[in-house]
Amino acid sequence: MQPIIFAAEGTEEANTMNAYMDHVWDGFYTGQVRLSRFPVIVHATRGTVYDVTFTGTPAQNMTWKLVGEESSAGVMIRIAYPSALSRALLINGKIIEYNQWDSKLNQYGEIKF
């Protein structure tokens, strides 16, 4: 799934990230034993949009964490999945319902939980 490209919408800013090498090999592929982590610094002002592109197959289960000093910090993450499978958002063990389309923004609105 790596490298992962993390790009801010409307700017030239893009970070290409790799995880540490997994030293267990199963033939041609890694053994997928190591938990891959991709830390990135973002401008976390609400309304900021980041596009995430995986250069390989995305993981079936991902955990995202935003750490910030301001309680108002937030970003929108858009992931270009290679298929049209259904996805769910799970926060603190609870499935979050789909957010409503915002015609003013011409995209889905903020997730409320």
Upstream peptide bond of 3 is cis (omega within 30 degrees of 0):
yes
> Does residue 65 surpass a pLDDT of 80?
yes
Please state the domain extents for the chain. Answer: 1-21+40-86
Higher model confidence: residue 13 or residue 98? 13
Higher model confidence: residue 23 or residue 59? 59
* pTM of this structure: 0.65
Instruction: Report, as an integer, the average pLDDT of 84-107.
Output: 76
DSSP secondary structure string for all residues of 29-83 = EE---S-----------TT-EEEEEESSPPPSS-------SSTT---EEEE--SS
89 with 99: CB under 8 angstroms? no
* Averaged pLDDT score across all residues of the chain: 78
> Does residue 33 surpass a pLDDT of 80?
no
